[in-house]
Amino acid sequence: MSLTGIILAAGSSTRMGRPKQLLPLGERCLLQHVVDEALRSQLDDVVIVLGARADEIRAVIALPATGRARIVVNPDHAAGQSTSLRAGLAAAGARARGVAVLLGDEPGVRAEVIDRVADVFEGGDAPIVRPIYVVDGRTVPGHPVILARSIWPELETLRGDRGARALWLAHPEWLRDMPIEGEPPPDVDTEAAYRRVVRDCSEG
């Protein structure tokens, strides 16, 4: 059985005003950072779900010739995140025991964190595993969120902009949190957030 990564990158970047997937960050675009970290991890394969301006984004993203990563296009992306999640699940391999959901606007995600969450999932029986960042006594949930195949039928019922969070709110007993010390990688939703990640990238 395998573990498939799903990168949700179908949004229209309304708050940003331009496709954030293509924003330059160092020598790569923002989405490429997420793709590369997913491919550097132990995930068996990776599905990138595109929607808005899919052809433009597809032309820029570099994928390995091995076929380990592939792009699917969600024509219903404007109807909310649930449609992209369903598109990713449909594209996951038949042998996938679970999927690791990543966000295409979190370029700070690291393969090491993906692997740690995957190890907890593989070593336990919780159908949902997520990282929880511990910052000054506060806890902040992060990604990837790993979802076992056994609960995919529940995910298929989601509509609109509802994501997997709706499942663990309804079934808290399904969720296992994995604490990680430090700040979570930020979402890049605004120009200010983009400027911060550019600064952090140049300082790193």
- Tokens 């499942």 map to which residue? 167
The pLDDT-based confidence of 182 (bands split at 50, 70, 90) is confident
- Say whether pLDDT at 156 is over 70: yes
pTM > 0.85: yes or no? yes
Q: Above pLDDT 90, what percent of the chain?
A: 75
- Asked if residues 109 and 14 have their Cβ atoms less than 8 Å apart, the reply is no
> What pLDDT shows up at residue 171?
92
The pLDDT-based confidence of 174 (bands split at 50, 70, 90) is very high
Mean pLDDT on 130-151: 93
CATH topology of domain 2-203: Spore Coat Polysaccharide Biosynthesis Protein SpsA; Chain A (3.90.550)
- Say whether pLDDT at 188 is over 70: yes
- Tokens 């990543």 map to which residue? 102
pLDDT digits (tens, 9 = 90+) for 12-31: 888 888 899 999 999 999 99
pLDDT digits (tens, 9 = 90+) for 100-120: 999 999 999 999 999 999 999
**Domain ranges, ordered by start, for the chain:** 2-203
pLDDT digits (tens, 9 = 90+) for 79-92: 999 999 999 999 99
Residue 67 gets which letter from DSSP? Answer: S
Average pLDDT, the chain: 93
User: Within 13 Å, how many C-alpha atoms sit on residue 43's CB side?
Assistant: 33
Q: CA-to-CA distance for 147 and 144, rounded, in angstroms? A: 10
- Phi and psi torsions of 40, nearest 5°: -80, -15
The CA-atom distances, in angstroms, between 59 and each of 6, 8, 28, 147, 167 are 19, 17, 13, 30, 35
> What pLDDT shows up at residue 204?
59
pLDDT digits (tens, 9 = 90+) for 43-83: 999 999 999 999 999 999 999 998 899 999 999 999 999 99
Question: Smallest Cα–Cα separation from 77: which of 102, 37, 49, 39?
Answer: 49
Region of residue 23 (phi > 0: left; psi between -120 and 50: alpha; otherwise: beta): beta
